[in-house]
């Protein structure tokens, strides 16, 4: 069954790239979530992504809106409608915007980015993500002894994965982190705009 679901996701994803021709799968997060067993829905995400592509680079202008904030058990919970969370057990439970991006066919991939509309504000620490394996279990908190109360998490606002080939198309998973936690300052860093470039160097990659 898992093999069937994986094949279906790959075929649909390749179809989206064929139809859009923009180099970015707008439903990348929903397809990835479907493979993991979550409800898809990123097509209606409030995230806006403009893409410009050449044979050697891809430029993305990402605008983030629609963040939702709640307080649960004296801890702050952030969500972006129809987007995902990082979902690492024990790590701060924060939203992430993830997309599959088509990249140049050859060369080592390099990422550069700039941020704008960045703000800092104090609020209660985030929960630590955990799986709901017991009925009535309460969320684990990021307390004063946590390693995540020292430094910024996630450490980088934009990341990319290793290139993969799907039906002859070279792609990477690209992640944007609109909300990050600064444990030293006990505040959140909110970013509304990302300008990112993925370029191919002359080195083999």
- Length, in residues, of the chain: 205
Query: Angle, nearest 10°, between helix axes 28-36 and 2-20?
Result: 180
User: From CA 86, how far away is CA 80, in angstroms rounded?
Assistant: 12
Look at residue 196 in the predicted model and tell me its pLDDT.
98
29/175 Cα distance (integer angstroms): 10
Q: What is the CATH number of domain 45-200?
A: 2.60.40.3800
Q: What is the pLDDT of residues 9-25, one digit of tens each?
A: 433 343 333 333 334 43
- Residue pLDDT, tens place only, 51-99: 999 989 999 999 999 889 888 888 899 999 989 998 888 889 999 999 9
User: How far is 108 from 183, CA to CA, in rounded Å?
Assistant: 34
Q: Taking the domains of the chain in order of start, what are their residue ranges?
A: 45-200
Q: What is the pTM of this model?
A: 0.73
């Amino acid at each position: 069954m898992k093999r069937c679901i994986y094949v279906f996701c790959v075929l649909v994803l390749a179809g989206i790239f064929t139809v859009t021709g923009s180099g970015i799968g707008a439903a990348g997060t929903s397809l990835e979530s479907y493979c993991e067993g979550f409800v898809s829905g990123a097509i209606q995400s409030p995230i806006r992504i403009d893409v410009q592509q050449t044979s050697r680079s891809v430029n993305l202008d990402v605008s983030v809106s629609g963040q939702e904030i709640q307080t649960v058990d004296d801890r702050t919970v952030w969500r972006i409608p129809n987007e995902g969370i990082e979902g690492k057990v024990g790590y701060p439970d924060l939203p992430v915007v993830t997309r599959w991006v088509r990249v140049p066919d050859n060369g080592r991939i390099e990422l550069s980015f700039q941020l704008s509309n960045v703000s800092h504000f104090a609020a209660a620490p985030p929960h630590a993500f955990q799986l709901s394996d017991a009925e009535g279990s309460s969320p684990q908190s990021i307390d004063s002894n946590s390693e995540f109360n020292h430094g910024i998490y996630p450490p980088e606002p934009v990341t990319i994965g290793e290139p993969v080939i799907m039906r002859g198309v070279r792609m990477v998973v690209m992640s944007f982190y609109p909300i990050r936690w600064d444990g030293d300052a006990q505040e959140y860093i909110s970013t509304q705009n990302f300008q990112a470039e993925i370029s191919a160097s002359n080195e083999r990659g």
